[in-house]
């Protein structure tokens, strides 16, 4: 059964979105809104690099996250995006997708303390990025259910391989690809 979704996005002063309403046949998904606010709070208050780069959430749900950055903080001496900035946005995007799902799963199991870390990351630069760009991370299936099953099991680490595509805003073809292993760690 396919659910039909509609999205209403309300931008706020700092470029983040303070409300993303996702309607499905069953009604509002309040926990997803809370998960998004949780991730945005970490990006804005606890990861100084994200603030310096001007990272903003363009879209987010439990299957897909799109983060964007303006041009000025990431341009290098050659007038192209700095490789470290490209890698950082890709890593933040993958982390945000896994973290939203970890938060959603942890909210169902009160006694589990955990966090998401980047265990390994490798990037392929396919062509120069010469303007504002975005990162897109997607997960087929229900990642929060996979993480919830992990929480109920006896393992301490859950490695998740994820590819993040980075491209100029408005272009589909990736200019870079980050392959990352994000790890959910029980404390």
Question: Is 11 within a domain?
Answer: no
**Domain enclosing residue 47, as ranges:** 30-186
Banded model confidence at residue 25, pLDDT cuts 50, 70, 90: very low
Task: Give the count of domains, the chain.
Answer: 1
pLDDT at 29: 63
Beta bridge partners of residue 104, listed in sequence order: none
Distance CA 75, CA 54 (A): 13
Q: What is the pLDDT of residues 31-55, one digit of tens each?
A: 678 888 889 889 989 999 999 999 9
Give the percent of the chain with pLDDT over 70: 84
State the distance between the two ends of the chain, measured CA to CA, in whole angstroms.
37
The pLDDT assigned to 34 comes to 83
Q: Can you give the pLDDT at residue 114?
A: 94
> What average pLDDT does this structure show over 122-142?
95
Residue 9 lies in a domain: no
Whose CA is closest to 59, among 134, 123, 130? 134
CA distances from 35 to 32, 38, 60, 92, 99 (A): 5, 5, 10, 15, 8
- DSSP per-residue codes, 138-156: E-SS-HHHHHHHHHHSS-S
**Residue range 55-109, pLDDT digits in tens:** 999 999 999 999 999 999 999 999 999 999 999 999 999 999 999 999 999 988 8
| Domain presence at residue 10 | no
Q: Answer positive or negative: Cα dihedral of 109, 114, 115, 120.
A: negative
In a domain, residue 22? The reply is: no
User: Residue 35: which CATH number?
Assistant: 3.10.129.10
Average pLDDT value over all residues in the chain: 84
């Amino acid at each position: 059964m396919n659910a039909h979704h509609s999205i209403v996005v309300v931008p706020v002063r700092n470029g983040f979105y303070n409300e993303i309403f996702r309607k499905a046949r069953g009604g509002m998904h309040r926990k997803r809104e809370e998960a998004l606010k949780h991730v945005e709070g970490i990006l804005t208050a606890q990861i100084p690099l994200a603030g310096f780069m001007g990272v903003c959430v363009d879209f987010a749900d439990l299957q897909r996250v799109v983060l964007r950055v303006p041009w000025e903080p990431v341009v290098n001496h050659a007038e192209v995006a700095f490789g470290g900035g490209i890698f950082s946005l890709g890593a933040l995007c993958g982390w945000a997708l896994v973290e939203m799902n970890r938060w959603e799963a942890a909210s169902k199991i009160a006694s589990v303390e955990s966090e998401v870390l980047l265990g390994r990351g490798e990037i392929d630069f396919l062509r120069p990025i010469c303007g504002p760009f975005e990162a897109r991370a997607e997960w087929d299936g229900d990642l929060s259910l996979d993480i919830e099953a992990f929480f109920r099991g006896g393992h301490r680490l859950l490695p998740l391989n994820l590819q993040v595509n980075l491209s100029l805003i408005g272009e589909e073809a990736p200019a870079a690809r980050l392959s990352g292993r994000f790890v959910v760690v029980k404390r």
